[in-house]
Structure 1
């Protein structure tokens, strides 16, 4: 019904049927189980990003925070090492007490390359969580993501990367890097 109304409105405005289809709200990203939340962190020197929570499956309860940091990367080498992931991946927004579990690994999302690294988090309430920090570069810009929860860090990393690779998220990340 909504689609028919959108098409009728577009035809009335003289827009082709192909363009009218783009007026219809797009479905949620294809990776099942993720729903968007409000950005939970206070303002800082970077624009707010997007936050998501996974409900069900192997990532149940995982929260994912994603944002662009334009002009923040080594333009030549991109994300060079694990120390850079430690510095930029926004884990300090979740808790200032985090420790890397092991060396990170190279990751790719769309045309961006970077690194992902697993962490143990000591939360303010005394709870222990695991996390994955992800830093991806494109030219002199970064997209950073932090996935955190009570589950297995490897499962969270996998679920977060699958979600970030959806066409909708890749399009949003490119748009955010372009300042749109």
Structure 2
């Protein structure tokens, strides 16, 4: 696992790379361990998703789709922002972190092309998050706007190649020492 950090003022971007969650169980375990360091049982997590992943086999996508949407239906919230068809969309979701969430997040990683997630601050509600994205738009390079607007203290982003996790955060958190 490789780690690189870039800092600009009071914001930092940590890139944790060299994950192969499709073929290496030890990489899935490392990614789940990172989730366990960042979040605690009971934390509410907000997500932004963009379309289905092209790198995942179609047969696995079908299984993941059913499993993921059932979990959101049973234990969380899911809302399309834009839906072109079943495979192309922008959406948001919310769940509470529990002992099964790291495995669920691996499923999310495989299913969605883009996956951003964070623990909201300042009692931000799911409805307020939806309103925020409707007003500001969903494009937010490295999640920095969400940090500047104080929606969260850090935001995690699936790298476009699926082989890295990007964490944008307030520098005083010193996350590089925790990951």
Between structures 1 and 2, the one with greater helix share? 2
Q: TM-score, normalised by structure 2?
A: 0.30
When Rg is computed on C-alpha atoms for both structures, the one with the higher figure is 1
Q: TM-score, normalised by structure 1?
A: 0.30
